[in-house]
Structure 1
Amino acid sequence: MARRAQPLGLALPAGLAAAGAMLGLSLGTLAAVAWRAEGASTLGPADWAAVRFTLTQALLSAALSVTLAVPVARALARRRFPGRGLLITLLGAPFLLPVIVAVLGLLAVFGRSGLISQALAPLGLGPIDIYGLRGVVLAHVFFNLPLATRLILQGWLAIPAERFRLAASLGFTAHDVARRLEWPMLRSVLPGAFLVIFLICMTSFAVALTLGGGPRATTVELAIYQAFRFEFDLGRAALLALIQFALCAGAAALAFAVAVPGGFGAGLDRPLARWDAGGVWLRVLDGMWIALAALFLLVPLAMIVARGLAGVTDLPPSVWQAAGRSLAVALGSAALTLALALPIALAAVRLGGPRGAALQAAGLMAIAASPLVMGTGLFILLFPLADPVALALPLTALVNAAMSLPFALRALTPAMAEAEAGFGRLADSLGLRGAVRLRLVLLPRLRRPIGFTLGLSAALSMGDLGVIALFADPGQATLPLQLYRLMAAYRMEAAAGAALLLLALSLGLFWIFDRGGRVNAQA
């Protein structure tokens, strides 16, 4: 980030307004729920059991995702083979996959009538039961293993090629390289990867709703939903949300405390060569990890497609209507995400230092908040002014935008800082300010991250089953909610068809926006 006085113009008030809106959504809605609660509430044994289960499954999910991602990322970093780029792209698909769709795919492989249970039946072994803790952890690893792999792979690729060249000249073995080069890199990358996945699993809702399997497998987010939907105990819901927020904030502080810089410095951008990984055994080991990861992540996707093709032609009209509502919510959420992220990123870059970091922190705070509490707080605030149920879809788009904002800021802020550092002085000398500077200097160099941001937020919103599950009436169901209702009614063929439709729309939206951002992009 440039260390110079930069013209703020409208960037600061716009960024402060967007950051204030995020603080209002994250903390203001929690305060509204607590204020509306009738008297103080206490947590019972079931609530504390939900807190323990939430911590247990989040720790297990994050630990397994990161642990399994290390050998997969290592294999991808030191091997070059035809189709490697396509494989890395496909391995990222589960993170974009709607949760309810992924659950159907996992059940098709790991469920009681899935592929593995059918293969075990001739051996006299009983069917697999993936409900409860094992199902929640399995689903979270399925979603987050690709994310952890991509994060750790970036750390491996950041080690300059000259370090490996020097290691080869010194006769380092694979063990020596792991101890001297790879472990310091992992020490700097793993805490951040663990934190992101831990926070995602802490606030997970749809996975626990579909695979939780009863009171013993209830997360805090699901307990908040039950307190709202079935008991309308706002005090208990607010207290649970406060505990969840405190746990997420504590995890973030701990991760920042244990992370240390890798300290490799810059390289000369030479092609990476790995002289330490030429042995036959290491080749076999890397190939095994890549193959296992591909099977684990891609077979459920293939089962979704195979089973969905039979039911997609006979979908009821309600599914197509729900798909139209989901598309509208997803596009609105993507636009809101960009409208919030751009001013925050621009103001943070212009301010720089601790003030810029504080502005970014306000935007990142949503990842530790409960989307259900956000939605309920908004409904409480709007109830005296309008019919909250009639606003269910717009409010769902707003909350989805808030939950996508942390990912958008991580994509936009570094690119914004690089554009300002490279062209800011020239723009200043030409007197470019405000909208003209944004249009001529910044936006052409932000097309790639903007396309990625729009695609990611649209895909995540398309598959969200959160706020809409609380307040939508039968005529306002989105496609994920309609799919969940089909599953609850045991209409599995129609559910498979709806899942394939949702999968195609989610990945299609991401591809269109991401591709559009890369066409004729200047950076």
Structure 2
Amino acid sequence: MADRTQQVTPMRPAGVSVFKAITGSAALAVLLVLTLGTVLAVWSQATFQRGLSPADWAAIRFTIVQALVSASVSVAIAIPTARALARRKFRGRQVMVALLGAPFILPAIVAVLGIISIWGRSGLISDGLTAFGLQPLNIYGFSGVVLAHVFFNLPLATRLILQGWMSIPSEHFRLAAELGFTTRDVNRQLERPMLRAAIPGAFLLIFLLCITSFAVALSLGGGPKATTVELAIYQALRFDFDLSKAALLSIIQFALCTATAAATLTIARPTAFSLGLDHPPARWDGTERYTRLIDTALLVAVALFLFSPLISVILRGLPPLLSLPRQVWPALLNSLTIAIPAALIATAMALALAAFITELSRRRKTAALLESIGFLALAASPFVIGTGLFILLNPVIDPFKLALPITIAVNATMSLPFALRIILPALHRAEDHYGRLGASLGMTGFTLFRIAIWPRIKRAAGFAAGLSAALSMGDLGVVTLFAPPDFATLPLTMYRLMAAYQMEAAAGTALLLVASSLALFWTFDRGGRLDHHIR
């Protein structure tokens, strides 16, 4: 019997493990060079004796305060919004939940233009205020940065907290109904324990995203009173060419991001509900008339807040779409030249790391360590990596001549955590369910991967590549550090048009950017679904 068992489940060939170790180690080495390597390069140039100027301290305070306020407001609104989506069944609910992911892949500079068209001094709301003899709104500065961050992160917070509500087994709600629980009782006994587990992680993740947001601060901030650390790094490197100051600020930025990422991993805990039978959730609470009215009003208000800027971009961008300035089309080509390779590199690195982590799954601590390293890019912002690369390359070659490959490398690195988070669970399942079976049938190496593994992870890989391409297409970050005057991506061209008050041309460029980002996302995601018959 023992001999038979060994024949049915043979050990995997050593060659496969060696190949996974080589490719995984190579991806790991590249990631460490682009994150910790650049941080060490920045550290070597930082002059700590010099200290920080009052303007630097003001940038640090503004960065922390705006991130705290943005995360607090986003989570505070997301809690009742997620509750309303969890306990209300209405036509279009699935569409609304799906569209909540749109702001995440929407290029930041496009969203800023849409926000200005609604909330700006010449926007729709200001026009209404002016008609009643009131002063128009001024969204530049602290209020504008917070408003834009809430726009971006409210959908993310809602989706994260909604997952918490969906994790409560339907049997718990059924039992609560049989015991005669009121809406308050359900909130106290079921919802609050879930929220205590879900809110800290959501808050810290949004706080981290607000710290590393550059395009929003560049477009709506600026000035001594509304400068973030990343914007201060950009100004020190691009305008003052002060490597020491840029390095010192980069170390501070890395410390802020690392502390936030570590707190997120430490504080975030799953909710300890008992297992259910995976029945669709059914709710018997919240049937009072006033709760239905509040939920409906809230969902309508959130939908207007999130979707009106998107609709405005589409409506304003259609008329000038056929008469865009000449510089838009080379910029589109540059963006595609960056986004496609960055997506392919990020997906390939994620596959290599995921395979290496899966191979070491029996060594739990080692696998957990490698997975944590895979998310290092969340702690090292694009400007920290960009500043480090500038310091490393400057003695050897003019970094501005390498704007294209540097931007590709940084965008691939920043997309890697998202791609890894998508691919790793799918690869774990495929290896557990089909890896041993394929090995027992004598499949090895590429044959095993092609027949048994790839069909089960193809969909996840396509989605990861599409998301990476969309994020890279809309990036307005490190390219602003390295781009010479004659080089621009589509987001950078759009920002320059906005700075020159060519708002019609900027609106047309915004629509082209949105269409290109969605087309790339759909193309890669669709590629992962072709011939996909595995459930």
TM-score (norm 1): 0.95
**C-alpha displacement of 1:517:** 2.4
Q: Does structure 2 conserve the Cα–Cα contact (< 8 Å) formed by 1:382 and 1:388?
A: yes
Q: What residue is the counterpart of 1:456 in the other structure? A: 467
Q: What residue is the counterpart of 1:366 in the other structure? A: 377
Q: What residue is the counterpart of 2:234 in the other structure? A: 225
Q: What residue is the counterpart of 1:83 in the other structure? A: 92
Residue 406, structure 1, aligned to residue 412, structure 2: no
CA distance in 1, matches of 2:483, 2:267: 43
Q: Does structure 2 conserve the Cα–Cα contact (< 8 Å) formed by 1:16 and 1:359?
A: no
CA distance in 1, matches of 2:227, 2:324: 32
**C-alpha displacement of 1:480:** 0.6
Secondary structure in 1 aligned to 2:476? coil
Q: What residue is the counterpart of 1:477 in the other structure? A: 488
Q: Does structure 2 conserve the Cα–Cα contact (< 8 Å) formed by 1:34 and 1:235?
A: no
Aligned pair in 2 of structure 1 residues 163, 39: CA closer, same or farther (>3 Å)? closer
Q: Does structure 1 conserve the Cα–Cα contact (< 8 Å) formed by 2:38 and 2:388?
A: yes
CA distance in 2, matches of 1:388, 1:249: 27
Q: Does structure 1 conserve the Cα–Cα contact (< 8 Å) formed by 2:42 and 2:248?
A: no
Moved more, 29-38 or 263-272: 29-38
**Cα offsets for 1:315-374 (capped at 9, x unmatched):** 112101111111111111100110111111121122121111111111101111121232
**Cα offsets for 1:155-194 (capped at 9, x unmatched):** 2112211111111111111111112111222222222212
**Which of 431, 437, 441 is 1:430 aligned to?**
441
CA distance in 1, matches of 2:19, 2:54: 51
**Which of 336, 345, 359 is 2:345 aligned to?**
336
1:74-473 matches, cutoff 5 A: 74-352=83-361, 353-383=364-394, 386-473=397-484
CA distance in 2, matches of 1:217, 1:449: 40
CA distance in 2, matches of 1:357, 1:38: 35
Q: Does structure 2 conserve the Cα–Cα contact (< 8 Å) formed by 1:92 and 1:146?
A: yes
Stretches of 4+ aligned residues off by more than 6 angstroms: 4-7
CA distance in 2, matches of 1:55, 1:244: 11
Q: Does structure 2 conserve the Cα–Cα contact (< 8 Å) formed by 1:50 and 1:223?
A: yes
CA distance in 1, matches of 2:443, 2:251: 45
CA distance in 1, matches of 2:88, 2:445: 46
Residue 171 of structure 2 aligns to which amino acid in structure 1? E
Residue 426 of structure 1 aligns to which amino acid in structure 2? L
Moved more, 317-326 or 273-282: 273-282
Aligned pair in 2 of structure 1 residues 435, 187: CA closer, same or farther (>3 Å)? farther
Residue 459 of structure 1 aligns to which amino acid in structure 2? A
Aligned pair in 2 of structure 1 residues 509, 375: CA closer, same or farther (>3 Å)? same
Q: What residue is the counterpart of 1:494 in the other structure? A: 505
CA distance in 1, matches of 2:392, 2:251: 19
**C-alpha displacement of 1:495:** 0.9
CA distance in 2, matches of 1:243, 1:5: 48
Aligned pair in 2 of structure 1 residues 49, 374: CA closer, same or farther (>3 Å)? same
Aligned pair in 2 of structure 1 residues 45, 497: CA closer, same or farther (>3 Å)? same
Q: Supply the RMSD in Å over aligned alpha carbons.
A: 2.0
CA distance in 2, matches of 1:518, 1:77: 29
CA distance in 2, matches of 1:30, 1:322: 30
Q: Does structure 1 conserve the Cα–Cα contact (< 8 Å) formed by 2:258 and 2:380?
A: no
**Cα offsets for 1:105-132 (capped at 9, x unmatched):** 0000000011111111122210101111
**C-alpha displacement of 1:461:** 0.6
Moved more, 362-371 or 378-387: 378-387
Q: Does structure 2 conserve the Cα–Cα contact (< 8 Å) formed by 1:241 and 1:369?
A: no
**C-alpha displacement of 1:89:** 1.8
Residue 238 of structure 2 aligns to which amino acid in structure 1? R
CA distance in 1, matches of 2:433, 2:83: 33
CA distance in 1, matches of 2:480, 2:277: 52
1:7-26 matches, cutoff 5 A: 8-26=17-35
Residue 95 of structure 1 aligns to which amino acid in structure 2? F
Aligned pair in 2 of structure 1 residues 516, 181: CA closer, same or farther (>3 Å)? farther
Secondary structure in 2 aligned to 1:446? helix
CA distance in 2, matches of 1:95, 1:260: 24
CA distance in 1, matches of 2:482, 2:258: 28
CA distance in 2, matches of 1:179, 1:327: 51
Q: What residue is the counterpart of 1:505 in the other structure? A: 516
Residue 442 of structure 1 aligns to which amino acid in structure 2? I
Residue 374 of structure 2 aligns to which amino acid in structure 1? G
